[in-house]
Amino acid sequence: MHSPVIAPSLLAGDHARLAESAAVVSALGISWLHVDIMDGHFVPNLTFGPETLAALRRAGCGLFFDTHLMVSEPGNFVEAFAKAGASRLTIHVEPPYDHAAVLRRIRDLGCKAGIALNPGTPPGAVEHLLAEVDLVLVMTVQPGFGGQAFRRDTLPKIAVVDGWRRQRGLDYRIEVDGGIDLATAAECRAAGADTFVIGTAFFKHPDKAALAAAVGSL
């Protein structure tokens, strides 16, 4: 199992001071920043575009941009986000497009590639893509808005994806996103997750360093 990684979500930061929110993460020695991209079609919300990532890079942000594309047609966007400074591009399995081809394109652009599935999507939907990715993102809330309650019915799905990883000798990380705090991260870790997107619980925490250390020790 991989060592645990915390990926604070920029969505929960101060949208008027995104560079400052990213700097808070960097100052704690955290290396990952989760960036949620929503198109208003696949999910009922709009967030950031490629220029947001590019602006953060110009501002000197050197964090690993764990970029989550919650969009209906990710193939139309991967090049722009790669050029803007994304480190990983994670796409969703639910929309109908050639997932394997887009994952190959992401890697050809020099980024790591991930596949995501929503709470209601069975794990078998991504099984044929496991050898093509370095990360599987199991959404633990229905994507679209931050601050939702963690869904414990997703824990068995995490265990299934972890079981496949072990059985097949694959090395992908298992990420969880939605309602994650220290307590729910521990539940997910027990099920096999190793990468924890924490938004509201991170940016509103009175001792962010302690939270990051506790997640890192799971």
Q: Kindly report the average pLDDT of the chain as a whole number.
A: 95
Question: In the structure encoding, which two tokens stand for residue 150, read together?
Answer: 């963690």
pTM, two decimal places? 0.96
Question: In the structure encoding, which two tokens stand for residue 35, read together?
Answer: 């960036």
Taken in order 201, 210, 112, 83, is the CA torsion positive or negative? positive
CATH number of the domain at 5-216, please? 3.20.20.70
pLDDT at residue 54, rounded to an integer? 97
pLDDT tens by residue, 26-70: 999 999 999 999 988 888 778 899 999 999 999 999 999 999 999
Question: In the structure encoding, which two tokens stand for residue 159, read together?
Answer: 């265990």
For residues 181-208, give the mean pLDDT. 97
For residues 166-181, give the mean pLDDT. 97
Which residue in 57, 104, 96 sits closest to 79, CA to CA? Answer: 104
Q: Where are the domains positioned within the chain?
A: 5-216
For residues 165-175, give the mean pLDDT. 97
Look at residue 146 and tell me whether its pLDDT is greater than 80.
no
For residues 126-143, give the mean pLDDT. 96
For residues 188-202, give the mean pLDDT. 97
Positions marked active-site: 36, 177
pLDDT at residue 128, rounded to an integer? 97
Using DSSP bridges, classify how beta strands 173-177 and 195-198 pair: parallel, antiparallel or unpaired. parallel
Question: In the structure encoding, which two tokens stand for residue 81, read together?
Answer: 């986000």
